[in-house]
Amino acid sequence: MPKQLISLTINGTPREVTVEPSWTLLETTREALNLTGPKEGCGTGDCGACSMIVDGRLVTSCLMLAPQANGRRVTTIEGLQTNGTLDPVQQAFIETGGLQCGFCIPGMIMAARDLLDRNDNPSPKEIRDGLAGNLCRCTGYTKIYEAVELAAQRIRGGD
């Protein structure tokens, strides 16, 4: 079966990569592009650890075929820092203790970033609703809720 050449903009950088059509976007970023931040926790879209933002939409990259990302802008956890400075969401997760084993975190932070991109003043309920596609087994979410509140506050400029 023919491999395909796809081009995508990953974390702001245009890249070309040859893929098997059956590769998922997750495999492509991890294996071909060497971005191992996004994780595979289930492979079936049930845990959210592979979450990325593709053309402004939060997706589970374990279910997106690599060629479906052709021509699209993809942001992974590696793309959140700007000029060596952590994104406010990343910073907040550290400060509130919103991470433990860390395996869900690359997806969780993308989901939190996506939530705050849509709504920088989420209510506690909106935070809980907005993260429901991302399972965390370690924290019980409490400190993740606190991280998102703290990040939102800083993004709004109320630090």
Least distance in Å: CB of 136 to other proteins?
7
Q: Which residues contact 94 (CB under 8 A, 6 or more apart)?
A: 86
The reply on whether position 5 binds other proteins by CB under 8 A is no
Residue from 15, 73, 133, 153 binding other proteins (CB under 8 A)? 133
Characterize 68-77 residue by residue with b for buried, 16 or more Cβ atoms within 10 angstroms of its Cβ, and e for exposed.
Answer: ebeebbbbbb
CB 83, min distance to other proteins, A:
13
Among 21, 117, 119, 121, binds other proteins (CB under 8 A): 21
User: Any contact of residue 88 with other proteins (CB under 8 A)?
Assistant: no
Closest approach of other proteins to the CB of residue 14, in Å: 19
Q: How far apart are CA 28 and CA 21, in angstroms?
A: 10
Should residue 17 be labelled a site residue for other proteins when binding is judged by CB under 8 A?
A: no
Helices (H), 97-141: 105-118, 124-130
**Does the footprint of other proteins cover residue 47 (CB under 8 A)?**
yes
Q: How far is CA 25 from the centre of its chain?
A: 13
Q: Shortest approach of other proteins to residue 157 CB, angstroms? A: 21
Q: Is 11 in the site for other proteins (CB under 8 A)?
A: no
Q: Does 104 bind other proteins (CB under 8 A)?
A: yes
Residue in 134, 102, 55, 137 with CA at minimum distance from that of residue 90: 102
